[in-house]
Amino acid sequence: GFQCSKAGRMLVRQGELIKRCRRADKPFYYVLFNDVLIYGSPARGQSGGSRYVHHREIPLSSSKVIAVENEENAFQIFSENKAFVVIAANGDMEAWYNDMEKTIAQAKIDAGVKDEKEFAAVWTPDHAEKNCLKCNRAFTLMYRRHHCRACGMLCCDPCTKNRKILFHIDPKKPLRVCDDCFKNDKLGDGEEEDDEEPEATPTGANTAWWGVSDGRKT
């Protein structure tokens, strides 16, 4: 699990942000350190409490943030294997964005990172498109939506039949890609990746969790 205490690790900012997921926006609690960003959801029975089930950690030395055009309270967070949009409460977006940008820049200097990494793509939300962005066929209950793991576009199954290795996301597992992203690449065998963000699980012996109290992470 995630180790909270680490030599040189310092808390920069923490608070709730709304994560734009493929089916619906979901609130998560984010904690920004000088070397990593983590986020989690309230542990069972802690909807308004201070314990959170750990979902993901994002090393800052291999990440970046970009503001979302025409959405003053939203920005994108990119890492090598995950990218998504977060929405901040009124007045918080600028503070979050500036802290993220400055902390990422310093983390890259500290880690000696000079070259830009290859990042995962932000997925188009399911509700944003009614038709496949490749063949324009309408989506239905039987003709389902799928995301290209390389570009994040919403496509139908026939337009995303191919699989390939995306080394920055998973160096071993071939992932679903659209026809355009597959061109000039070798086909690999593999099962379909789960589209969903992992759901919070009850706190227990095999569940990683962390808590916040008095402005400090524990």
Q: Is 102 helix (H, G, I), strand (E, B) or coil?
A: helix
Q: How many residues does the chain have?
A: 218
**What's the order of all strands across the beta sheet hosting 209-213?**
63-67, 74-79, 83-87, 11-20, 25-33, 36-42, 51-59, 209-213, 216-217
- pTM for the structure as a whole: 0.77
Q: Which of 27-36, 114-123, 194-203 has the highest mean pLDDT?
A: 27-36
pLDDT for the residue 189: 41
Distances (CA, A) of 100 to 77, 116, 180: 9, 17, 33
Phi/psi of residue 128, each to 5°? -75, -25
| More confidently predicted of 218 and 101 | 101
Looking at 32-36, 44-48, 112-116, 198-202, which range is the least confident one? 198-202
pLDDT for the residue 3: 76
Say how far apart CA 151 and CA 196 lie, in whole Å: 17
Place of tokens 């589209």: 195
pLDDT for the residue 177: 94
DSSP conformational letter for 195: -
| More confidently predicted of 211 and 155 | 155
DSSP conformational letter for 131: B
One-letter amino acid at 19 equals: K
**pLDDT, tens digit, for every residue of 161-199?**
999 999 889 999 999 999 999 985 543 443 444 444 444
Residue 119 corresponds to which tokens in the numbers above?
Answer: 């990042």
